[in-house]
Amino acid sequence: MYVSAVTRDRTSVLDANLMALGVLNPRPPLPQFSLMKYFSKQVTPMGKRRFAHGYLRHPLRNPSLVRSYHRIIDALTSDRMLSALCSQKLSRLPDLDKITVRLCSARVVSQQRQMLSLIVAVYDALVELCELRALLKDIMPVLYDQVRVCQPLIKLIETVFDVTQVKLNAGNALDQGMIIKAEVKELAEVYKEMAEARKRADKEIDRINAKCDGKVKVIAVQPHGQVFRIPRTVEPPNGSILIRVNKAEKIFTTQRMQEFNSFSSAASEQVSHHEDALISRSLGVMATYVDSLNIIVDQIGLLDILIGIASMYSLLNSAATTATSEPWIFPTLVEDMPGCLRVGAGRHPLLTLRSELSASAEKKCVPNDFNSEAHYFVITGPNMGGKSTFSKQQALIALMAGYGLKVPCESCTLQLMDVFWARIGAHDNPCRNSSTFMVETQETATMLDALVNCESRKRSLTGLVILDELGRGTSVKDGLKFASAIIKYLTTLPGITSLCATHFHELSLIPNTMPLKLGSSRGNNKYLVEAGVEKDSDGIEAARFCGFPSEIIEEAKALLAQS
């Protein structure tokens, strides 16, 4: 899952629907409206892969690590030139995840020779990173140190291999060019003899060309090697060895060219033998750097992610005006207040992003305060009043704190959560013979089972539980009792903050719960959260808003008045 850079014992446990919360992109054809959409600005395969499959799925619960992310994001946001330069350098890097895996998998000589282009790709990547080392020393010390550790590997590749020739031979047989530098001790003498033999062969070619009035072409014919070709009307020089006569040409060789071809074949085998040995040794040396290379790849992915995050905040800063700007701040992290989540004038992160980045004048988010001191909250209000949105808002703010992100509020103090659970949305699963209520019950059972296991092991957990319309998939009587039993159990768990959005206003009577309501005025939702219970669901007004025929609306009102 690409979390090797951040070990699992330092990350939160997620048993939540990340699509419903707005962390991951929902499945088509639903609109893409999520943190992934707004912060997917990575330029490398390593960054994109880790952002989608690691970073967003594993929020941190280590305060010191989160604070280090804050420092990096602040540095990249304040220094736009540094951010642009790092992004430019990273965009040139190949997919080092796949390259390191392939390098480690090379076992036989034929495979090892194919790995040469990958060795050079690692070399090029390390050279690019070396140019960034001085700039990364303060913000990415781990990457800085590991690139320094790999400098002997850079020197080894530069000393042994002709990097330019390897690139020229990419996709071709590598023995077509001298891929090992002539200065290498094992091959220096062989290369010298091959160069002298080449000079003698060139003289022979010039001699034959002069004899044939410049009509000679040198071609390669197996198994003879390099031979001469002339038009059929031209006679070859005396002493030539005729190979064959075609319809329009004659092909021949000479004793000197035969000697050169014999020597060249033997020398090529000798060079190939030494090259294979050097390649094998070089791969063996590279294997000792695999741990450092893996750390470098992880750090590149992390740097790419944080550059993308910083670029988003820079975009928000440039889009903001004095009249429309809203604060985005890093949360204050505490370590001795389990379950703490205090938000002052908090706004929904996704709605705020859409509003601030939209070209049109979007309606601003209504800010609301939240203090988890009571721990167990029952949220009531009218349909489309913002109950679920308010619950998701608190979950997103807590998750974003674990990602090291800024959050849209005037103040925010929290302790990073150990666990996140969310029971949101309604859907069935016909393939598994599961109704909407069964799917909801199964998801809730999974959450409760995990909580019971943690409690039985006497583990002290801090976490956030989001429950949306619990018990709605069955009769009102059964659903209410079902939801009541769950809420009562949750109130016995210290360190767990739970928010239950519901139309069962009777749940607010459960001891140790804090009732919150979102009121409305004749169908005009205020989206303001305050203490209390809202018993009016305004379902008929919601139906009117959705375009129900007026006669059905009037009939519903009449039936409601009779009840």
User: What confidence tier does 172 reach under pLDDT thresholds 50, 70, 90?
Assistant: very low
Q: What is the Cα–Cα distance from 209 to 217, expressed in whole angstroms?
A: 8
Query: Among 59-63, 393-397, 468-472, which is the least confidently predicted range?
Result: 468-472
**Quick one: 99 and 220 in the same domain?**
no
Residue 402, pLDDT score: 94
Give the pLDDT score at 6: 44
d(CA 81, CA 69): 19
With a pLDDT cut of 70, the percent of the chain lying above it is 87
Radius of gyration of the chain (CA): 35
Range with the poorest average pLDDT among 293-302, 377-386, 550-559: 550-559
Q: Cα-flanking dihedrals φ and ψ of residue 463, to 5°?
A: -165, 175
pLDDT for 185 equals 67
pLDDT of residue 359: 61
Q: What is the mean pLDDT of residues 240-246?
A: 90
Residue for token pair 């941190």 = 60
What average pLDDT does the segment 373-384 reach? 88
Residue 472: pLDDT band with limits 50, 70, 90: confident
Tell me: do 193 and 162 sit in the same domain.
Answer: no
Q: Would residue 177 count as lying in a domain? A: no
pLDDT of amino acid 376:
92
- b/e sequence 291-307, b meaning 16+ C-beta within 10 Å: ebbbbbbbbbbbbbbbb
Cross-strand bridge partners of residue 378: 500, 515
Q: Give the least confident one: 1-5, 142-146, 313-317, 488-492.
A: 1-5
Cα gap 219→229, rounded to integer Å:
7
Cβ 64 vs Cβ 420: under 8 Å? no
Q: What is the mean pLDDT of residues 5-15?
A: 62
By C-alpha distance, which of 326, 375, 345, 399 is closest to 500? 375
Q: Is residue 407 one of the residues assigned to a domain?
A: yes
Report the C-alpha gap between 100 and 118 in whole angstroms: 8
In a shared domain, residues 315 and 338: no
Residue-wise pLDDT for 295-342, tens only, equals 999 999 999 999 999 999 988 887 665 445 678 999 999 988 888 999
Is residue 558 included in any domain, yes or no? no
Distance CA 487, CA 478 (A): 14
Task: Give per-residue pLDDT as tens, 349-364.
Answer: 999 988 888 765 556 7
Residue 214 backbone zone (phi > 0: left; psi -120 to 50: alpha; other: beta): left
Q: Is the pLDDT of residue 563 over 50?
A: yes
Same domain, 139 and 235: no
350 plus 222 within the same structural domain: no
- Of 36-40, 385-389, 534-538, the range with the highest mean pLDDT is 36-40
Residues 33 and 156 in one domain: yes
Same-domain pairing of 164 and 19: yes
pLDDT at residue 142, rounded to an integer: 92
Number of Cα atoms under 13 Å in the Cβ half of residue 24: 17
Q: Which of 149-163, 177-191, 289-303, 382-396 has the lowest mean pLDDT?
A: 177-191
Q: 220: how many CB neighbours lie within 10 A of its CB?
A: 9
Same domain, 464 and 505: yes
Which has more pLDDT, 186 or 487? 487
Answer whether residue 210 is part of any domain.
Answer: yes
Cα–Cα dist 11/345, whole Å = 27
- 367 within domain boundaries: yes
Q: What is the CATH number of the domain that holds 358?
A: 3.40.50.300
User: How is residue 419 annotated by DSSP?
Assistant: E
**How many residues make up the chain in this entry?**
563
Q: Stretch 351-379: mean pLDDT, rounded?
A: 83
pLDDT digits (tens, 9 = 90+) for 250-294: 999 999 999 999 988 888 888 778 777 777 888 888 888 889 999
Q: Are 112 and 283 in contact (CB under 8 A)?
A: yes
Would you say residue 221 lies in a domain? yes
Query: Does residue 109 share a domain with residue 195?
Result: no
Asked if the model's pLDDT at residue 112 lies above 80, the reply is no
Token readout for 209 is 């060309």
151 plus 238 within the same structural domain: no
Mean pLDDT, the chain, integer: 83
pLDDT for the residue numbered 396: 94
Alpha-carbon span 342 to 412, nearest angstrom: 6
C-beta atoms surrounding 182 within 10 Å: 13
216 against 270, higher pLDDT: 216
In a domain, residue 315? The reply is yes
**Per the structure block, which two tokens stand in for 506?**
């009777």
Are residue 310 and residue 372 in the same domain, yes or no?
A: no
**Which CA distances in Å does 480 have to 37, 50, 449, 553?**
37, 42, 21, 27
Q: Are both 285 and 332 inside the same structural domain?
A: no
Nearest to 236, CA basis, from 219, 262, 213, 259: 213
The total domain count for the chain is 3
pLDDT-wise least confident of 92-101, 172-181, 423-432, 502-511: 172-181
| Domain harbouring 220, CATH code | 1.10.1420.10
Task: Give the separation between CA 522 and CA 529, rounded to whole angstroms.
Answer: 17
Q: Which domain holds residue 51?
A: 13-171+276-319
Measure Cα distances from 101 to 28, 96, 98, 184, 519 in Å.
Answer: 33, 8, 5, 28, 57
Asked whether residue 384 is assigned to any structural domain, the reply reads: yes
Q: Could you tell me the two tokens for 392?
A: 């998701």
